[in-house]
A and B are shown apart, each in its own frame.
Chain A
């Protein structure tokens, strides 16, 4: 690291109200190197990067660009300096084509011809061996392809400092490998790359330097080559020994809580299985192989017109016509910002969304009682910041998920449908969620939909594999032979 850094952050601090998102952060970004920013949810990674991208300004501290202090007072200024962000939530206009998205905001020409745009996009895409069709609508692309469009946007702008905000969170393993290939290529071209993640293995495999953020501060800064194991990183990140394995004790299964038979719709092909109280049935598979229609059918969000779904011994139509608030079905959706919570309501109102039972008397909602319960749950689930008056959008993803889980488990559900329950959560939070799910088997049967194989293996009593709308197989966690074959089944090879 002999050459001067292209960006130097010196004693950067940023607070939101009383929350110190970044505190006294000093960091160098070098050309031709990949810097990984590692940290739990809410550690301040995204805040730090939004300062670099010109979306907000630091309260104190200086940003140096090629040695001179600069102020990125707007996104345009950051873009001019060659800083490009690949956001976790893509900033793409879905209703426009790939080429239109790439040329959005470029000021070098007034007249845009569709053909000309498409040709120039294809050129750059080829150069970085990306396969995106410039004339396709973005809405029709997969997550991996959308990300490629984001990267192409930056390449077109000749961005030299590329910031990736948790880029692999939405990718399949194969797509993630392609991304790493692109990142290495860009690094070889002399671009500076910042890679935000909380996946330790990825960081170890791709990064040159690693900075670890914890509660807004940098607690570790090292060259990746000097890190002996992911365990070392994990310890620094959470500040305590991480238990990546949970204690999975088999439980006696009792009465049936869910029975699906002959479900045939929306791409699903003759799905049949049952879940009993006391077990977790984990469904693994690459996203888009029928998990969504399955979950929505079970949870009553789609009509069941072929096949039969029986919930707690009652036909689903009957079940949803007379559902009670507790001792019933809890749905923990993947989309915690859109489906599980209302962004503009505070935690208490969000808590009451599904959990009014016990708090309502006639038409009234005595909020103070609910408030007491929620305060207890906030402590129990360690939701930070511990303030029931915070609005949902003010919570980080992990804390919001904990809020949703605390709410749903409070209802003492008999059947839990959990969709990617730990996606985007840090290790400590994921572990909490896992333990909560395992304990919940005492009172409930759990349908777990996950794209994370290790999660399925850790938690499930029985594991099912979905491919192309079919439940390829369903087997016990002790069946080593079948577990070996899961990757092939997920790829449709078995």
Chain B
């Protein structure tokens, strides 16, 4: 493949990987606190719609972006309520959140299908975007992509270099130890759920505000599920999540290009590619089991002391 095709492909990989990256980071943040949130897909699409509606109403994409994050937090709070207050089953609650979110977004979004809203346009960074190859791939993107160059680092610093991060990880690893150390485990799990929901909402907003500038139903198209799988691929580490998200972004971009090039392969098979890769990645990751940072108490509820 020659370089004229490769560079735009890689740039597209970064772009289509970005929403998945936001969602994956959110899910890592949540799972590190011990809560499994399978509602990523629903949370993302609620974020996407909220961002779109706010952008349309205010004309300000920045406000819209933050609003999408907050909408994600609200959606995730349903999961928090079920799991942390009522000790409900985390798997079921997450699945319900996805079904609810997708349903609500499609219902409320139907009148807006095909309409556009102001969003984020590519904003090449002076000097850096002039760099050969790297400039075109990484530094000729939009602002929301640049944000994801910093956020994983911030999350990593939070998790590994602050006492709040240590406590959050302990809440997900072995809550009994955290309780014995005098920590409010449930509080840290709320932090994990709500903070994670915020990033998932941002991931959704990327789709409606930057990736496209318009609303269509089912905008997320399974990206939330890919994020859930990527968390495992990333061994629950923010750094590896970046790598994984771009890998999937690459497959999605490639798949689009192949369709456009008029190949003989049926398009439904090409559309399937990212999901086939998801299965492959999960199988591969399970081989490395034991070396991952999977939180020890992931998916378990904290029972109130009797």
Contacts and interface: CB of A to CB of B under 8 A. Distances in A.
Interface string A37-66: 000000000000000000110000000000
- Chain B interface, DSSP helix/strand/loop, else mixed: helix
A110 B177 contact: no
Interface string A79-97: 1000001010001111110
A134 B210 CA distance: 47
A455 interface: no
B305 A56 contact: yes
Interface string A400-414: 000000000000000
Interface stretch (A98-106, A182-190, A218-226, A361-369): A98-106
B174 interface: yes
Interface residues of A, number: 26
A111 B162 contact: yes
Q: Is the interface of A mostly helix, strand, loop or mixed?
A: loop
A91 B169 contact: no
B33 to A, nearest CB: 13
Nearest to B157: A111
Interface stretch (B36-44, B48-56, B178-186): B178-186
B178 A75 contact: no
B170 to A, nearest CB: 5
Contact of B180 (A85, A106, A113): A85
A100 B177 CA distance: 12
A75 B185 CA distance: 12
Contacts of A93: 169-170, 173-174, 177-178, 296
A198 interface: no
Contact of A110 (B160, B163, B180, B181): B163
A315 interface: no
Contacts of B149: none
Interface in A4-61: 55-56
A91 B176 contact: yes
A109 interface: yes
B173 A87 contact: no
A76 interface: yes
A120 to B, nearest CB: 14
A265 interface: no
B161 A104 contact: no
Interface in B155-177: 160-164, 166-167, 169-170, 173-174, 176-177
Contacts of B130: none
Interface in B277-298: 293, 296
A103 B166 contact: yes
Contacts of B162: 110-112
Contacts of B306: 56
B183 A104 contact: yes
Interface in B126-176: 160-164, 166-167, 169-170, 173-174, 176
A68 interface: no
Interface of B: 160-164, 166-167, 169-170, 173-174, 176-183, 293, 296, 305-306
Given A79-B182, A93-B170, A106-B163, 16 more contacts: A75-B179, A75-B182, A91-B180, A92-B177, A93-B169, A93-B173, A94-B173, A96-B170, A96-B173, A104-B170, A104-B181, A105-B170, A110-B162, A110-B164, A112-B161, A112-B162
